[in-house]
Structure 1
Amino acid sequence: MTTAPPAARDIDDIVDDLLVRAGAVGRFPTPVEEIVAAAGLAEAQDYVLTEEAIAQAPAQLRELLRSSREKILGLVDRRERVIHVSPTITHGGRRSFVKLHEVTHHVLPWQRELVYADDDDSLSPSVRAQFEREANYGAAALLFQGSQFDESIVQLPVRLESIDMLAGLFGASFRATARRYGERHSRAVLIAAFDGGEGGRWQRREVSASPEWRRRFGTPAWPGLMTEDRFPVLAHVRQGSQATVTWRDQNGESAQVRVAGRAGAKWASYLLLTVA
Structure 2
Amino acid sequence: MRELLKLDRHYYSSTNDGAIAETVSRLKVAGQQILTRPGLLKTAILKFSLKALYLPDQRRILLDQEEPLLKHRWNEAHEIGHSIIPWHEGMMLGDNKQTLLPMCHEQMEAEANYVAGRLLFAGSRFQEEASSSPADLGRVRSLAKSYGNTATSTLWRYVEEAHPGRPMFALVSGHPHAFRREKDFDPLNPCRYYIRSPAFRERFGPRSAVELFQIVSGYCGAQQGGYIGKAEVVVADANNVPHTFRCETFFNRYQALSLGVWQESATSVSTGNGYKVA
* TM-score, scaled to structure 1: 0.69
Q: Where does residue 259 of structure 2 map in the other structure?
A: 272
Q: Cα gap change, 1:62/1:252 in structure 2, threshold over 3 Å: closer, same or farther?
A: closer
Q: Where does residue 170 of structure 2 map in the other structure?
A: 191
Amino acid at match of 1:273: G
Q: Cα gap change, 1:225/1:149 in structure 2, threshold over 3 Å: closer, same or farther?
A: closer
Q: Measure how far apart 1:104 and its partner are.
A: 1.0
For residue 68 of structure 1, give the secondary structure of its aligned residue in structure 2. helix
The counterpart of 1:107, out of the listed 84, 92, 102, is 84
For residue 240 of structure 2, give the secondary structure of its aligned residue in structure 1. coil
The counterpart of 2:230, out of the listed 233, 242, 257, is 242
CA distance in structure 2 between the partners assigned to 1:225 and 1:158 by the alignment: 19
Q: Cα gap change, 1:181/1:210 in structure 2, threshold over 3 Å: closer, same or farther?
A: same
- Is the Cα contact below 8 Å between 1:166 and 1:177 reproduced in 2? yes
- Is the Cα contact below 8 Å between 1:167 and 1:177 reproduced in 2? yes
Q: Measure how far apart 1:249 and its partner are.
A: 2.7
Q: Where does residue 193 of structure 2 map in the other structure?
A: 206
Q: Measure how far apart 1:161 and its partner are.
A: 0.8
For residue 89 of structure 2, give the secondary structure of its aligned residue in structure 1. coil
Q: Measure how far apart 1:42 and its partner are.
A: 3.6
Q: Measure how far apart 1:64 and its partner are.
A: 2.0
Identify unmatched segments of 5+ residues in structure 1: 1-34, 117-125
What is the alpha-carbon root mean square deviation over aligned residues? Answer: 3.2
Q: Cα gap change, 1:51/1:200 in structure 2, threshold over 3 Å: closer, same or farther?
A: closer
CA distance in structure 2 between the partners assigned to 1:232 and 1:132 by the alignment: 30
- Is the Cα contact below 8 Å between 2:172 and 2:256 reproduced in 1? yes
- Is the Cα contact below 8 Å between 1:48 and 1:84 reproduced in 2? no
Q: Cα gap change, 1:62/1:234 in structure 2, threshold over 3 Å: closer, same or farther?
A: same
Deviations 1:72-102 (A, max 9, x none): 322233444332211111232x101111111
Q: Measure how far apart 1:37 and its partner are.
A: 1.5
Which structure has the higher relative contact order (CA within 8 Å, separation 6+)? 1
Identify unmatched segments of 5+ residues in structure 2: 25-35, 94-102, 182-186, 223-227, 264-278
CA distance in structure 2 between the partners assigned to 1:114 and 1:257 by the alignment: 42
Q: Where does residue 72 of structure 1 map in the other structure?
A: 50
Q: Cα gap change, 1:204/1:41 in structure 2, threshold over 3 Å: closer, same or farther?
A: same
Amino acid at match of 2:251: A
CA distance in structure 2 between the partners assigned to 1:54 and 1:251 by the alignment: 55
CA distance in structure 2 between the partners assigned to 1:132 and 1:194 by the alignment: 21
* TM-score, scaled to structure 2: 0.68
Q: Cα gap change, 1:193/1:127 in structure 2, threshold over 3 Å: closer, same or farther?
A: farther
Count the aligned residue pairs.
225
Q: Cα gap change, 1:223/1:56 in structure 2, threshold over 3 Å: closer, same or farther?
A: same
Q: Where does residue 242 of structure 2 map in the other structure?
A: 254
Q: Measure how far apart 1:108 and its partner are.
A: 1.1
CA distance in structure 2 between the partners assigned to 1:234 and 1:257 by the alignment: 15
CA distance in structure 1 between the partners assigned to 2:233 and 2:124 by the alignment: 32
- Is the Cα contact below 8 Å between 1:247 and 1:254 reproduced in 2? yes
Q: Measure how far apart 1:103 and its partner are.
A: 0.7
Q: Cα gap change, 1:82/1:157 in structure 2, threshold over 3 Å: closer, same or farther?
A: same
Amino acid at match of 1:241: G
